[in-house]
Chains A and B, each alone.
Chain A
Amino acid sequence: MRIVTYNIHGWRSADGHPNLDAVTDVLRTLNADLIGLNEVFYPRVIQGSARPALEALAEQLGMHFVFGPCLRWPAEHNMPAEAYGNAILSRWPIIANSAHHLTSKEEDPQNLLAKKEQRGLLEGRIRFEDGRTFTVYQTHLDHTDETVRAIQLRIARTWLCVTATGPISSWATSTLSRPGTSPTMRMIGRRSWPIPLVRTWQAMRGGRK
């Protein structure tokens, strides 16, 4: 099984150009089975596709996907609703998923996170053909402050501890920090269901040929 983590820079190349085609080429070449993405706008439509870029990417790769919003913008001023966050793509069906905001009164008594961009942890449970399951997490921690990252990681670990015990195999994929500019956001989905804390969006697609 090949696992990839990739921060896609909000659908922009390092030089600021739309990068859906380039990201698709990179991931197709890597031929991954599980992919964790950071800095995903959804359902943003960008150059290279008439549909939301994340859906186009998943379709091109023949993979299932889930999206976990960290930030959301309601529809207003004739602009569609959007969100920004993490995504997981999988060759196998994603049978359960949840997205957790990395906020906690207990772990952040000084309320340091309130001054920072909200981050999240996306969890996906994969089911292989033989019935075994596998749990994967994707997160993207603050890029500016080690103290804040430590708080976010403690919060993330509370979810890892709850869900990663027992016979379920698990791993965490993380972008722990990102120096430089902070991104903005976007999103919406085709199929959705409410899950405690945050909603996630999931689209089930045919298995990879």
Chain B
Amino acid sequence: MIAQMEKAGYVDAYRRFAPAGERSFLTSEVPIRIDYIFSSQSLVDGFQNCQIWPAAGRASDHLPVFADLTL
């Protein structure tokens, strides 16, 4: 799926800043990141960071993912 998005020209913002292996879905047995922010190529250079936010705790069964972008 990720490859399909990248082939279409979108960029997984998180992967520009963080390694694989983080968890965005809390109740899976293995760490898995299933929440994404994809960007058009034209915006990629404007990203300052992209992170999963574990401080959200168990407010949901997912953790929020955020990115800071300068246009």
Stretch at the interface among A1-9, A42-50, A101-109, A111-119: A1-9
B62–A174 touching, CB < 8 Å: no
The A interface, classified by DSSP as helix, strand, loop or mixed, is mixed
Contact status A146-B38, CB under 8 Å: no
Q: Given the interface contacts A2-B67, A173-B37, does A7 sit within 8 Å of B1 by beta carbon?
A: no
A175 touching B1 by the CB < 8 A rule?
A: no
Interface residues of B in 15-71 (CB under 8 A from A): 25-28, 32, 34-40, 42-43, 53, 55-62, 64-71
**Residues of B at under 8 Å CB distance from A?**
1-2, 4-5, 8, 10, 25-28, 32, 34-40, 42-43, 53, 55-62, 64-71
* Least CB distance, A196 to chain B, in whole angstroms: 23
Nearest to A177 among chain B residues (CB) is B34
Residue A169 at the chain B interface, CB threshold 8 Å = yes
Tell me if A203 is interfacial: C-beta within 8 Å of chain B: no
| Cα of A132 to Cα of B70 in the assembled complex, Å | 13
Mark A residues whose CB is within 8 Å of B: 1-9, 12-15, 19, 22-23, 25-27, 29-30, 32, 38, 132, 134, 141, 146, 149-150, 153-154, 157, 160, 164, 169-180
**Cβ of B59 and Cβ of A180 under 8 Å apart?**
no
CA distance A134 to B40 in the complex (A): 11
| Neighbour of B61 across the interface among A14, A132, A160, A173, CB < 8 A | A14
- One of A23, A171, A179 near B40 (C-beta < 8 A): A171
A30 neighbours in B (Cβ, 8 Å): 53, 64, 66
CB-CB under 8 A from B61, the residues of chain A are 7, 9, 13-14, 180
A14, B44: Cα distance in complex, Å: 33
Report the minimum CB–CB distance from A15 to chain B (whole Å).
6
CB-nearest residue of chain A to B26: A14
Minimum Cβ distance to chain B for residue A166 (Å): 11
Interchain CB contact under 8 A, B34 and A171: no
Report Cα–Cα, A103/B60, bound state, in Å. Answer: 28
Check if A29 sits within 8 Å of B70, measured CB to CB: no
B37 and A5 contacting across the interface, CB-CB below 8 Å: yes
Q: Is there contact, CB below 8 Å, between A174 and B36?
A: yes
The docked-state distance in angstroms from the alpha carbon of A98 to that of B39 is 19
Indicate if the CB atoms of A7 and B60 lie closer than 8 Å: yes
Known contacts A3-B67, A4-B65, A153-B4; decide if A172 and B59 are in contact (CB<8 Å).
no
